[in-house]
Chain A
Amino acid sequence: MKDKIRLALAQISSKRENKDENLTKFEKITQKAKEQGADLVIFPEMSLTGYVVRDQLYELAEPIPGPSVRRMEDIAKKTNMHIIFGMPELSEKTRATLFNTAVFVGPNGFIGKYRKMYLPTHSVFEEKRHFRPGYQAAAFDTPIGKIGLCICYDLFFPEVTRLVRLQGAQLIVCISASPAVRRSYFEILTAARALENTAFLAYVNLVGVEDGLQFWGGSRLITPTGDIVVKAKYDEEDFVLCEVNYNDIRAAETFIPTLRDLRPELFEELKRSSENL
């Protein structure tokens, strides 16, 4: 495993309901990331289809692996890159059971997927209307490190990032489609999730206007001590390169030993209390 890797945060707007055009964009940006020395390129939540596609999700969703993922595998193989992106997933066992999923592919093809566990269904969000929640945290051993995935609203629940960290993830990737009115929450939560887990956290958000919703961008890499290494522009498409040095985690873990100080017995109490809210 490499000690240092280079990330490309691909903060894009998607062409809604046009997977072909978005796949072409993914390919161009992945090529650019490769040329600039990146090992991993990250695209936002639901960037394959756009976020506000409502009931068209039933037409747009695909099994994973499926046609779009196979095309992304080809791009990853051709460029020798790792790629993470978001898309609506159709369950292979049903005809209309969907998941909001992050897909991870690499130079050897499909690595894995993560199905969003916390589906916002309040305010402008209607994810539970369409999606079934995932039930498993996902951290993957790869040549570029152990990488855990989460999606957008998952960040409000420390257990998701904590679970992937406890599975050994040293880089947590959060893909997002966060509208501008929620920017301040995510600016706090991205730093908090990195810091409390002493892990790197790469956050990649969508931009653009979809049905009046404006996604704010602001993608970033956070260090294990909660500092922002790089930050993409607000509200506009951007492409930002940054470096993760896994060796930094050792110092962070000694300085802020949150993992050493975990108290498993409290989790039982947490479970009991949350069942009786």
Chain B
Amino acid sequence: MDLKPSVLEMNLVDVESRIKRFIKSYVENSGANGIVLGMSGGVDSNTVAAISALAIGGDKVLGLMLPEKETLNPKDIEDAKVVAEKFGVQTQICEITPALEGFYKSIPIFDPSERLSKGNIKARTRMIYIYYYANKQNRIVCGSSDKSETMMGYFTKWGDVAADIAPNMDLYKTQVRKLAEHISVPAELATKPSTPALWPNQSAEGELGIKYEVLDLILFGLERFMAPLEIAEQLGIPEEQVVKVKKRWLGVEHKRRMPLTPKLEFRTVGTDFRLPHGTY
């Protein structure tokens, strides 16, 4: 297989209609009143908000903007509002700083200098707000995670990835950008650099140490069982770079699964308890 950028091309008309059908069918079958999602102003949540609105109508989609003072960027809120207005998505701003400060104060071992643990509190706090609206208003929580982040484990466990459905999780980041443009998310927002907004000036590509255009091709090759050397040769990059991605790809499986449990009984959750989803 030739690992050219064209391997990531999709029939966007089909992809759009499949995602819309998936969302519509899930919301209808669940009996929910609509969808709630966190809108960060980034390409992933803007795309999910837009396609959700196209699937079930913007009046049934609520985008929560959940800023906090350390990472506050008015441009992000503006960008989310642009998409919300264009697609008729309802919005609500909840300033989460007081909640975060409550956590910081009440955790006896809290260390403000350790930014990852602190940043994860932010992602998990946002999750709490989103699920509150879901419970209170009988909405489905729609996640915005893409396949690049999911396969790299570039998310907060039980935080930003926590959702009932994740319409974009089978699309790599560069594919999400294409889908965004296809469904008329403004071009400058479709190409906007990604950030998890856990601390100031955080950049996804900077932290991952690789451009999404290259990462997605590596992930595409790994998904199809290509050897790291073959991927490296085709992309003209060092084999170590591919091996590094592969190790992370394998190492973060714990973030993508139900918690492991020892096999003790007849049927076990997460392993051989295999029930259909959403039939009752």
**B275 in complex: contacting residue of A55, A129, A212, CB < 8 Å:** A55
Q: Which of B9-34 contact A (CB under 8 A)?
A: 14, 17-18, 21-22, 25-26
Per the bound structure, the CA–CA distance linking A50 and B17 in Å amounts to 22
Give CA–CA (A54, B274) in the complex, Å. Answer: 6
From B18, B273, B276, A53 is in contact (CB under 8 Å) with B276
Instruction: Report Cα–Cα, A232/B277, bound state, in Å.
Output: 28
- Are B25 and A211 neighbours in the complex by a CB distance under 8 Å? no
A-B CB contacts (within 8 Å), total count: 41
Interface contact A210-B22, CB-CB below 8 Å: no
In the complex, what residues of B have CB within 8 A of residue A56's CB? 275-276, 279
Complex contact A54–B14 (CB within 8 A)? no
**What's the Cα separation between A180 and B273 when bound, in Å?**
26
Q: Verify A52–B276 contact, CB threshold 8 A.
A: yes
Asked if A251 lies at the interface with its beta carbon under 8 angstroms from chain B, I say: no
Contact flags A1-40 to B (C-beta < 8 A → 1, else 0)? 0000000000000001100000000000000000000000
Q: Does B278 make an interface contact (CB < 8 A)?
A: yes
- A28-86, CB < 8 A from B: 50, 52-56
Residue numbers in B under 8 Å from A212 (CB-CB): 22, 277
Contact call B276/A210, Cβ cutoff below 8 A: yes
Interface residues of A in 213-236 (CB under 8 A from B): 214, 235
Q: Give the residues from 99 to 140 in chain B that come closer than 8 angstroms, CB to CB, to chain A.
A: none
Residues of B within 8 A of A235 (CB): 17, 21
Contact, CB under 8 Å: B276 / A180: no
Is B22 touching A54 in the complex (CB atoms < 8 A)?
A: no
B side interface size, CB within 8 A: 16
Contacts of A17 in B (CB 8 A): 276, 279-280
Residue contact B18 to A54, C-beta cutoff 8 Å? no
Query: Nearest CB to that of A210 among chain B residues?
Result: B276
Contacts of A148 in B (CB 8 A): none
Residue of A nearest to B25 (CB): A209
The answer for the CA separation of A16 and B22 in the assembled complex, in Å, is 16
A211 lies within 8 A of B276 (CB): yes
Contact with A along B218-254 (1 / 0, CB 8 A): 0000000000000000000000000000000000000
A126 CB, min distance to chain B CBs, angstroms: 8
Report the bound CA distance from A52 to B280 in whole Å.
13
Tell me if A109 is interfacial: C-beta within 8 Å of chain B: no
User: Which residue in A16, A129, A208, A214 is a CB contact (below 8 Å) of B276?
Assistant: A16
For B26, give the chain A residue with the smallest CB separation. A209
Q: Give the docked Cα–Cα distance between A56 and B267 (Å).
A: 13
Question: A22 vs B80: C-alpha distance in the bound complex, in angstroms?
Answer: 43
Give A183's nearest chain B residue, CB to CB: B14
Query: Chain B residues near A209 (CB, 8 Å)?
Result: 21-22, 25-26
Chain B residues with Cβ under 8 A from A129's Cβ?
Answer: 274
- For B25, the chain A residues whose CB sits under 8 A away are 208-209
Known A208-B25, A209-B25, A209-B26; judge A180-B275 contact (CB<8 A). Answer: no
Contact of B22 among A52, A53, A214 (CB under 8 A): A214
Chain A residue, CB-CB nearest to B280: A17
B55 → chain A closest CB, angstroms: 12
Q: Please, which residue of chain B has its CB at the minimum distance from the CB of A17?
A: B279
Q: How far is the CB of B7 from chain A (nearest CB, A)?
A: 15
Distance of A131 from chain B, by nearest CB (Å): 14
Measured CB to CB, the closest approach of chain A to B94, in angstroms, equals 30
Chain B residues contacting A50 (CB-CB under 8 Å) are 276, 279
Q: Are B275 and A214 in contact (CB under 8 A)?
A: no
Kindly list chain A residues whose C-beta atoms are within 8 Å of the C-beta of B275: 54-56
- A53 contacts across to B, CB distance below 8 A: 276, 279
**Distance in angstroms between the alpha carbons of A211 and B276 in the assembled complex:** 7
Chain A 196-209, CB-CB to B under 8 Å as 1, else 0, gives: 00000000000011
Interface residues of B (CB under 8 A from A): 14, 17-18, 21-22, 25-26, 267, 273-280
User: Would you mind naming 24 contact pairs between A and B with Cβ atoms under 8 Å apart?
Assistant: A16-B276, A16-B279, A17-B276, A17-B279, A50-B276, A50-B279, A52-B276, A53-B276, A53-B279, A54-B274, A54-B275, A54-B276, A55-B274, A55-B275, A56-B275, A180-B18, A208-B25, A209-B21, A210-B276, A211-B278, A212-B22, A212-B277, A214-B18, A214-B22
Interface residues of A (CB under 8 A from B): 16-17, 50, 52-56, 126, 129, 180, 208-212, 214, 235
Besides the known contacts A16-B279, A52-B277, A54-B275, 13 further A-B residue pairs in the complex with CB atoms under 8 A apart? A16-B276, A55-B273, A55-B274, A56-B276, A126-B274, A180-B18, A209-B22, A209-B25, A211-B277, A212-B22, A214-B21, A235-B17, A235-B21
A-B pairs with lowest CB-CB distance, top 5: A209-B25, A54-B274, A16-B279, A211-B277, A55-B274
